[in-house]
Amino acid sequence: MAANAVDGDLNTYWEANSGAFPNTLTVKLGANATLTQVVLKLNPSSAWGTRTQNIQVLGREQSASGYTGLVAAADYTFNPATGNSVTIPVTATVADVQLKINSNTGAPGGQVAEFQVFGTPAPNPDLTVTDLSWTPASPVETDAIMLSATVKNQGTAASAATSVAFYLGDTKVGTADVGALAAGASATVSAGIGARDAASYEVTAKVDEAGAVIEQNEGNNSLTGSTRLTVRPVDSSDLVPVLSWTPGNPPAGGTVTFSVALKNQGTVASAGGTHAITVTVLNDTGGTVKTLTGSHSGTIAAGATTSPVSLGTWTAANGRYTVRAVVAADANELPVKRDNNTATRSLFVGRGANMPYDHYEAEDAVTGGGATVVGPNRTIGDLAGEASGRKAVTLNTTGAYVEFTTKASTNTLVTRFSIPDAPGGGGINATLNVYVNGSFHKALNLTSKHMWLYGAEASPGNSPGSGSPRHIYDEANLMLDASFPAGTKIRLQKDAANTTTYAIDFIDTEQVAPAANPDPARYVVPNGFTHQDVQAALDKARMESGWEGVYLPAGTYQTSQKFNVYGKAVKVVGAGPWYTRFYAPTGQENTDIGFSVQSSANGSAFAGFAVFGNYTARIDGPGKVFDLRSVSDLTIDNLWIEHQMVMVWGTNLKNVTITNSRVRDLFADAINFTNDSDGNTVRNVDARSTGDDSFALFNAVDIVQGDNTGNVFENLSATLPWRAAGVAVYGGYDNVFRNIHIADTLTYSGITISSLDFGYPFRGFGTTPTRFENISIIRCGGHFWGAQTFPGIWLFSASKEFRGIRVSDVDIVDPTYHGIMFQTKYTGGQPENPITDTLFTNVTVSGARKSGDAFDAKSGFGIWANEMPEPGQGPAVGSATFTNLTLTGNHTDIRNTTSTFTINRN
How far is it, in rounded angstroms, from Cα 851 to Cα 526? 56
Q: Model's pTM, two decimal places?
A: 0.79
Cβ pair 490, 402 in contact under 8 A:
no
Cβ pair 381, 472 in contact under 8 A:
yes
Residue among 655, 647, 778 nearest 712 (CA): 655
- Please count the CA atoms within 13 angstroms of the CA of 377 that sit on its side-chain side: 12
Vertex 134: Cα angle to 129 and 136 (nearest 5): 170
**How many CB atoms are located within 10 Å of the residue 792 CB?**
32
Vertex 372: Cα angle to 370 and 375 (nearest 5): 170
* Helix, strand, or coil (residue 567): coil
How far is it, in rounded angstroms, from Cα 625 to Cα 572? 14
Cβ pair 180, 213 in contact under 8 A:
no
Cβ pair 511, 486 in contact under 8 A:
no
**How many CB atoms are located within 10 Å of the residue 877 CB?**
25
Cβ pair 319, 352 in contact under 8 A:
no
Helices and strands counted in the chain (H then E): 1, 68
Cβ pair 228, 204 in contact under 8 A:
no
The whole-number pLDDT of residue 386 equals 98
Residue among 479, 476, 457, 475 nearest 466 (CA): 457
Cβ pair 549, 522 in contact under 8 A:
yes
Q: What is the CA radius of gyration of the chain?
A: 34
Is the sign of the CA dihedral 810, 718, 452, 496 positive or negative? Answer: positive
Q: How far is CA 162 from the centre of its chain?
A: 43
**How many CB atoms are located within 10 Å of the residue 624 CB?**
23
Whether residue 136 is preceded by a cis peptide bond, meaning omega within 30 degrees of 0, is yes
> Beta partners for 296?
275
* Helix, strand, or coil (residue 472): coil
Contacts of 601 (CB under 8 A, 6+ apart): 565, 566, 567, 568, 569, 570, 631
- Please count the CA atoms within 13 angstroms of the CA of 813 that sit on its side-chain side: 11
Contacts of 410 (CB under 8 A, 6+ apart): 358, 480, 483, 484, 488, 490, 509, 510, 511
Cβ pair 248, 260 in contact under 8 A:
no
How far is it, in rounded angstroms, from Cα 340 to Cα 330? 12
Cβ pair 670, 618 in contact under 8 A:
no
Amino acid letter at 565? V
Cβ pair 444, 497 in contact under 8 A:
no
Burial grade of 753 (CB within 10 A; 0-12, 13-18, 19 or more): buried
Strand segments (E) across 424-526: 429-436, 439-447, 453-454, 469-470, 474-484, 489-493, 502-509, 523-524
Residue among 707, 717, 655 nearest 684 (CA): 717
The whole-number pLDDT of residue 20 equals 87
Cβ pair 376, 347 in contact under 8 A:
no
Is the sign of the CA dihedral 775, 776, 782, 787 positive or negative? Answer: positive
DSSP state string for 423-448: TTSS--EEEEEEEETTEEEEEEEEE-
How far is it, in rounded angstroms, from Cα 450 to Cα 446? 10
Pairing of strands 439-447, 429-436: antiparallel
How far is it, in rounded angstroms, from Cα 599 to Cα 31? 51
Contacts of 852 (CB under 8 A, 6+ apart): none
Amino acid letter at 207? V
Contacts of 841 (CB under 8 A, 6+ apart): 806, 807, 808, 809, 882, 883, 884
* Helix, strand, or coil (residue 6): helix
Residue among 449, 424, 444, 447 nearest 434 (CA): 444
How far is it, in rounded angstroms, from Cα 840 to Cα 295? 42
How far is it, in rounded angstroms, from Cα 693 to Cα 689? 10
* Helix, strand, or coil (residue 864): strand
* Helix, strand, or coil (residue 148): strand
Burial grade of 18 (CB within 10 A; 0-12, 13-18, 19 or more): exposed
Residue among 352, 345, 325 nearest 251 (CA): 352
**Successive 10-residue mean pLDDT values, the chain, 906 residues:** 89 91 94 95 94 97 94 96 96 96 95 96 95 96 95 95 94 96 96 94 95 91 95 94 92 94 96 97 92 97 97 94 97 93 94 96 98 97 98 98 97 98 96 98 98 92 95 98 97 98 98 95 95 96 95 97 97 98 94 97 98 96 97 98 98 98 98 98 98 98 97 97 97 97 97 97 97 97 92 97 98 98 94 98 98 95 91 90 98 97 97
Residue among 871, 876, 751 nearest 819 (CA): 751
